[in-house]
Structure 1
Amino acid sequence: MADDTKTTDAGDRYAQALFDLANEAGQTAAVESDLKSLKAAYKDSADLRRLLASPAFTAEDKAAGLNAIAKKAKFNATTIKFLGLLAANRRSSDLMSAIAAFERLSAAQRGVVSAEVVSAVPLSAAQSKGVAQALRTALGKEPEISTRVDPSILGGLKVRVGSRLFDASLKSKLDSLKFALKRA
């Protein structure tokens, strides 16, 4: 699956509008929780990814699908209206971008920084705590860490903070060595 968290201008605009509305209503935390649940559902469901990405489905189909998910998950009314607006404006494909942008806005408001840590195997509690402490020291802010396992990196870690990527994976080190040997 491709990285669906790249932001688009439309995703940024929708996220900003949702963030402003949720903030005014004092519902930022509830909306963010809804969006995190939806993001997890998107990652777990090929059907949901297909529904949102495929031009074969009409805006009404997409709205109905998102509305059914929202009602079943008992999402906040603001989140439900946002999903309906996104579908009605034929911007369902920008949903993951809008969620990523909303999470950044919320994190900035709370004074934390989001970081994604990719490892070849699941991190132990002690390792997670060590990574959090290292990020706290390096960034000078409280990190909000999401983890992902990607066996293809072979070992080590990749840490993405905003647009910065710190790649200490074994795969990238081997690729660098292979490139250096080819040049020799």
Structure 2
Amino acid sequence: MVNVSIARRYARALLDVAADANRIDAVADQLTAFVKAYESNPELSDVLLNPAFSRSQRSHVVEAMIQLTGNIDPTLANALRLLVDRNRLVYLPDIARVYRDMADARSGRVRGHVTSASKLAPDAVEQLRKSLQQLTQRDVILESREDPSLLGGVSAQVGSVLFDGSVRTQLEQMRRALKQQ
């Protein structure tokens, strides 16, 4: 619970500053890329999180990453420096997730996942996105996943609402109905 509270505080501050500069989405994209680099490299994570490394060593690593990424937003660069100074880099993935959620809420977007037994065609995903957009009255950003255990059909989750049209669920419902008779 402490992680969420700390992450929410930093994410809100970053969002407010990014909103003033009209750079909410650019900061979100760069923050996500930074977190992916941070999580995908165990050596980098070790340097940034291990207390055996000094604050100045971590600061040099973060500065090098900022220079390597090149066109990083100054708002994000300052936030990363602040996280190093306050020894809060461990919360960076949570901050990125909360920031993205807050940015989506501010922009009227909602994220969702569509799961199917096999890969869906891009036009089918787009058609499903438009249908979900009409149902939710919000801009929907869909991620596509595959799960062969669904057997067929599609399951879509948007926010906390699940639309399940999978064959597996339909078979389960028929099994329950037959048991009750």
Q: Deviations over 1:47-100 (max 9, x none)?
A: 277438854554634444333222211211111111121222222221121112
Give the superposition deviation at 1:139.
0.7
| 1:103 counterpart letter in structure 2 | R
Q: Taking structure 1 as reference, are residues 101 and 138 closer, same or farther at Cα in structure 2, changes over 3 Å only?
A: same
**Mapping for residues 1-184 of structure 1, pairs under 5 Å:** 8-42=4-38, 45-47=40-42, 50-51=45-46, 54-56=49-51, 58=53, 60=55, 61-74=57-70, 75-119=72-116, 121-145=118-142, 147=143, 149=145, 151=147, 154=150, 157=154, 159-162=156-159, 164=160, 166=162, 168=164, 173=169
Stretches of structure 1 that go unaligned for 5 or more consecutive residues are 1-6
3-state SS of the aligned residue for 2:141?
Answer: strand
Corresponding letter in the other structure for 1:143 = V
Look up the SS of the partner of 2:61 in the other structure: helix
Question: Which residue is 1:3 aligned to?
Answer: none
- Distance in 2 (alpha carbons) for counterparts of 1:98 and 1:86: 10
List gaps (5 residues or longer) in structure 2.
none
Q: Which amino acid aligns with 1:38?
A: F
* Percent sequence identity over aligned pairs: 19
* SS in structure 1 at match of 2:31: helix
Aligned pair in 2 of structure 1 residues 110, 173: CA closer, same or farther (>3 Å)?
Answer: same
Larger Rg computed on CA atoms: 2
TM-score by length of 1: 0.71
Structure 1 residues 37 and 168: alpha-carbon distance in aligned structure 2, compared to 1, 3 A threshold: same
Change (3 A) 1:119 1:158: same
**CA RMSD after TM alignment:** 3.6
Query: Cα distance, 1:151 vs. partner?
Result: 4.4
Aligned letter for 1:66?
V
Please tell me the residue identity of whatever aligns with 1:32. Answer: A
Task: Assess if the C-alpha contact under 8 Å between 1:70 and 1:80 holds in 2.
Answer: yes
Quick check: 1:63–1:83 contact (8 Å CA) kept in 2? no
How far off its partner does 1:129 sit?
A: 0.9
Equivalences, count: 172
> What is the CA deviation profile of residues 20-53 of structure 1, one whole-angstrom value per residue up to 9, with x for unaligned ones?
111122332321221232244356x142774388
Q: Which amino acid aligns with 1:37?
A: A
